[in-house]
Amino acid sequence: MDITDTQVRDYFNSFYTPIDDRLISFRQVGERGMVPIILKETESVLKMLLDMKKPEKILEIGTAIGYSSTFFALYCPEARIYTIEKDEYAHKAAVSNISKSALDDRVTLLMGDGQEQTEKLRDEGVDGFDFVFIDAAKSHYRRFLESAVTVCKPGAVLVSDNILMHGMTVTEDCDPRDKHKSNIRKMREYVEFICRDKRFHTTLFSVGDGLAVSIYMGKNE
């Protein structure tokens, strides 16, 4: 008998435990409102990566309503988090949520395009990031990544979320109406790029909606 992906996911998620009570209601609100917050299994992998890296400065591109930046701040109490969101409504919600969690002293929320805001940080001398989480517009992942490495230390861990795009990256059968052809092509190009570029050591994971976990080795000479 074949075991379905749903059965595997539900089994793994049965072991999920929130790291803080503040995240319980936050996740419930996000899931009920169909807000794109990180999946439980993705959060579990992030915990492992954060335990290994112990980052001091985290850059997030794609704040949404602030769930993942809240998670980063709670799980890494010594870290400073910078998070970028382009959508004004989502940004305002994130500002409110971060404030309610009493984390505004360590989480800097920026509104605007991920690349532009990262380059602004670079120009202002804000760099030395050792952990990056990319979870924004899927067709723009490469330019987000390229801007992120300009503010990263060698050895930084960069995590790209949702690289499977609900299976569409693997097969067009998951996009029967051809609504996402451009996004599919760009994500495939991104995955190919990040696996081939010698600046990175990348491993792909099928957990959640797909993760690319890359170690930035530094600039090519």
Could you identify the residue written with the tokens 């030395």? 128
Instruction: Count CB neighbours of 155 within 10 A.
Output: 11
Q: Is 183 annotated as a binding residue?
A: no
Phi, psi (deg, nearest 5) at residue 199: -75, -15
Q: Tokens in use for 35?
A: 């807000």
Non-local (6+) Cβ contacts of 203 within 8 A are 212, 213, 214
Q: Is 221 annotated as a binding residue?
A: no
Cβ-based burial of 28 (10 A; exposed 0-12, middle 13-18, buried ≥19): exposed
Q: Is 161 annotated as a binding residue?
A: yes
Cα(221)–Cα(204) distance, rounded to whole angstroms? Answer: 26
Q: Is 135 annotated as a binding residue?
A: yes
Q: Is 85 annotated as a binding residue?
A: yes
Q: Is 220 annotated as a binding residue?
A: no
Cα(50)–Cα(220) distance, rounded to whole angstroms? Answer: 26
User: Which residues sit in the known binding site for S-adenosyl-L-methionine?
Assistant: 38, 68, 85, 135
| Binding site, annotated residues for Mg(2+) | 135, 161-162
Annotated binding site: 38, 68, 85, 135, 161-162
